[in-house]
């Protein structure tokens, strides 16, 4: 097709950052005149009542949620200061369609001065597009200062007394962080001693010379691990540190976006499992295993630890790290993985763990104390099976180990359908306020949720919803097309293949076959994972219906040629589309799916 399609599902946002920009503090107008800058959020509790709960979320009994803020930009991670002010880092770029951004800086301060559960003060500051900024993911509060990722840096803002936003430009803490590739974001956490742990995610899926390519062996040794695929440690109290391999704290972590630090200083981090086992290695993995392998992981971080990437992934059915096919694995062989560090807990494949926080407050019932809440951004690589995740999960801990199965704590963010192209909201960041409230960010429409407990003491009415088994079957292949718009007749918005135009040299039967291939019913194709069930595009792959082509003349033959050779160096997306889109298609199947895509790209009036 016209450009690349493959990216994490969870993968977070895609953007090519500008380097070294002048930092100018830019503030949008207040939405509240003369705010009380240190008011703490929190309305008086009403037992078993949820006044103002407009969130649409499904929560355990006794919990309530409000929309704390909305449409603030593509909200990534967030942090809450001791005074209850919520700080959010927002992002931009092609992952979000290069859409229009709110005026002002990429950093946002939110304050509830009325106790209503909604922010009535919203102030933007920091880098702007005009000053060369593109936003970021990582953000944190330490010793009264605000730390934020911007482009290739992590910077520190001083928050003056009497104001919720800084007056002065920031100081650079560390610069030169690697950008580009599959995981350019840099979430971080700061412990009580001021040590800052920074995720430097991998540039590739599995360290192949050509990323995400059919049956391509991995580079050995994986030179990418020198500067990517691990956690780096810096001093949050120092300025002008420069990224280098010397500060690597742990390795073999493909993308560790979520951090949690407990009272004893133990550091927990999430791990995004790799993608495309069937697409790239069909001799060893069935199509259904594309959706069910590997598990997502929760790791206990150890200095000098090696957690396995790219040589290993975690198989929840085998309860073991196993050797990746790029390094001689066959789906069962353990090999060098016997010496790597496995997870303390694991979760269903491709759910995409993003932000994580340890709950150490008193508001929630005791059962939640000292466990972790994880925001799962949601899958894409489970296609053509149903996508999963798009929720917030609770995992109990007992010291440095998991305690029992995880639970679905909050769901309903996505709305009607869990998929990259149709999710109304996707959980991304998560933080705990000083009063024990839980805040969750959404990077689709920039919504911030506030979750509180209003139930009885002890939480006796809570009926935990266990996570599905990470080794469960993929289920049935999901169906064919976009759902009709709400309030329309049953067939509204659906283009029946019988009514689609036919390209020269093709037949209606060929277009119908292409439809089935596109939707994963024939040939093992996973097109819907990146281009969407209606082919209208997702953050992972372009719209195939708008008749705009970068890699061919848009003819059926031209589309077929692009499918055959793939797009290894895309122009507008970060990760490549492998030859045949990662599927094992015959020549006739390529011709059929090209005919179908051509037909979808034609205006309705031409039918």
- Region 569-574: what's the mean pLDDT? 73
Q: Is the dihedral of CA 580, 582, 588, 593 positive or negative?
A: negative
Shared domain for 453 and 505, answered yes or no, is no
Q: Residue 581 has what pLDDT?
A: 76
User: Which residue range(s) make up the domain with 582?
Assistant: 497-606
Shared domain for 174 and 296, answered yes or no, is yes
What is the rounded CA–CA span in Å between residue 380 and residue 10?
A: 7
Shared domain for 455 and 531, answered yes or no, is no
Shared domain for 118 and 215, answered yes or no, is yes
112 within a domain of the structure (yes/no): yes
Q: Residue 549 has what pLDDT?
A: 84
Shared domain for 455 and 503, answered yes or no, is no
- Region 568-589: what's the mean pLDDT? 77
Asked if 93 and 10 count as a contact pair (C-beta separation under 8 A), the reply is: no
Shared domain for 314 and 412, answered yes or no, is yes
* Residue 10 predicted with pLDDT over 60: no
Asked if 370 and 395 count as a contact pair (C-beta separation under 8 A), the reply is: no
What is the rounded CA–CA span in Å between residue 526 and residue 505?
A: 26
334-346 residue pLDDT tens? 999 999 999 999 9
Asked if 196 and 218 count as a contact pair (C-beta separation under 8 A), the reply is: no
392 within a domain of the structure (yes/no): yes
Which CATH number covers residue 406? 2.120.10.30
Shared domain for 525 and 454, answered yes or no, is no
Shared domain for 256 and 381, answered yes or no, is yes
52 within a domain of the structure (yes/no): no
What is the rounded CA–CA span in Å between residue 508 and residue 514?
A: 10
Q: Is the dihedral of CA 315, 281, 522, 597 positive or negative?
A: positive
141 within a domain of the structure (yes/no): yes
22 within a domain of the structure (yes/no): no
User: What's the structural domain count of the chain?
Assistant: 2
Distances (CA, A) of 152 to 51, 148, 179, 237, 521: 43, 11, 7, 18, 43
15 within a domain of the structure (yes/no): no
Cα end-to-end distance, the chain, whole Å: 22
Q: Residue 51 has what pLDDT?
A: 80
Shared domain for 448 and 312, answered yes or no, is yes
Which CATH number covers residue 536? 1.10.760.10
* Residue 189 predicted with pLDDT over 50: yes
Q: How many residues does the chain have?
A: 607
Shared domain for 178 and 273, answered yes or no, is yes
Shared domain for 529 and 451, answered yes or no, is no
106-165 residue pLDDT tens? 999 999 999 999 999 999 999 999 999 999 999 999 999 999 999 999 999 999 999 999
378 within a domain of the structure (yes/no): yes
Shared domain for 372 and 447, answered yes or no, is yes
140 forms beta bridges with 147
Query: What DSSP assignment string belongs to 338-393?
Result: GGS---SEEE-TT--EEEEEE--SSSS-GGGTT-EEEEE---STTTTBPP---EEE
Q: Residue 350 has what pLDDT?
A: 98
What is the percentage of the chain residues whose pLDDT exceeds 90?
A: 65
């Amino acid at each position: 097709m016209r450009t690349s399609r493959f990216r994490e599902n969870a993968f977070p946002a895609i953007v090519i950052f500008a380097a070294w920009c002048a930092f100018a503090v830019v503030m949008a107008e207040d939405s509240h005149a003369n705010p009380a800058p240190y008011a703490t959020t929190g309305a008086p509790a009403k037992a078993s009542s949820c006044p103002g709960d407009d969130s649409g979320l499904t929560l355990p009994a006794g919990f309530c949620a409000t929309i704390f803020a909305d449409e603030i930009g593509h909200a990534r991670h967030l942090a809450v200061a001791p005074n209850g002010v919520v700080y959010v880092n927002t992002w931009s770029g092609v992952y979000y369609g290069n859409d229009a951004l709110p005026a002002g800086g990429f950093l946002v301060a939110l304050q509830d001065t009325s106790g209503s559960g909604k922010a009535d003060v919203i102030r933007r500051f920091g880098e702007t597009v005009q000053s060369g900024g593109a936003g970021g993911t990582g953000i944190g509060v330490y010793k009264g200062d605000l730390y934020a990722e911007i482009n290739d840096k992590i910077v520190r803002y001083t928050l003056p007394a009497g104001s919720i936003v800084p007056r002065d430009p920031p100081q650079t803490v560390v610069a030169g962080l690697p950008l580009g590739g599959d995981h350019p974001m840099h979430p971080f956490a700061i412990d009580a001693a001021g040590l800052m742990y920074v995720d430097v995610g991998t540039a590739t899926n599995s360290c192949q010379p050509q990323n995400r390519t059919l049956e391509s062996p991995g580079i050995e040794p994986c030179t990418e691990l020198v500067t990517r695929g691990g956690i780096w440690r810096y001093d949050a109290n120092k300025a002008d540190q420069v990224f280098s391999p010397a500060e690597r704290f742990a390795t073999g972590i493909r993308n560790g976006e979520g951090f949690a630090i407990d009272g004893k200083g133990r550091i927990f981090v999430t791990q995004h499992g790799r993608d495309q086992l069937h697409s790239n290695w069909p001799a060893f993995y069935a199509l259904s295993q594309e959706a069910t392998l590997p598990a997502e992981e929760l790791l206990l971080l150890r200095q000098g630890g090696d957690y396995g990437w790219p040589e290993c992934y975690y198989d929840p059915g085998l309860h073991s790290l196993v050797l990746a096919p790029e390094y001689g694995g066959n789906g069962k062989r353990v090999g060098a993985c016997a010496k790597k560090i496995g997870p303390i807990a694991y979760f269903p494949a491709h759910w995409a763990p993003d932000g994580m926080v340890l709950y150490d407050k008193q508001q929630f019932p005791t059962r939640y104390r000292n466990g972790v809440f994880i925001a799962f951004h949601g899958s894409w690589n489970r296609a053509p099976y149903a996508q999963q995740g798009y929720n917030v999960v609770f995992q109990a801990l007992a010291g440095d180990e998991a305690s029992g199965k995880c639970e679905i704590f909050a769901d309903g963010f996505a709305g009607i359908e869990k998929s990259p192209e149709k999710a109304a909201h996707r959980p991304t960041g998560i933080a705990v306020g000083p009063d024990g409230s839980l805040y969750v960010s959404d990077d689709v429409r920039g919504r911030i949720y506030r979750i509180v407990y209003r139930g009885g003491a002890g939480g006796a009415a809570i009926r935990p919803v266990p996570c599905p088994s990470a080794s469960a079957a993929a289920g049935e292949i999901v169906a064919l097309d976009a759902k009709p718009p709400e309030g329309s007749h049953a067939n509204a918005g659906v283009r029946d293949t019988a009514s689609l135009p036919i390209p020269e040299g093709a037949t209606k039967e060929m277009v119908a076959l292409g439809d089935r291939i596109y939707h994963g019913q024939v040939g093992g194709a996973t097109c819907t994972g990146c281009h969407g069930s209606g082919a209208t595009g997702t953050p992972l792959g372009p719209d195939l219906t708008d008749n705009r082509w970068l890699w061919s003349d848009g003819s059926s033959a031209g589309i077929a040629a692009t499918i055959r050779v793939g797009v290894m160096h895309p122009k507008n997306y970060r990760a490549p589309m492998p030859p045949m889109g990662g599927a094992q298609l015959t020549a006739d199947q390529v011709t059929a799916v090209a005919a179908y895509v051509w037909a979808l790209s034609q205006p309705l009036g031409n039918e």
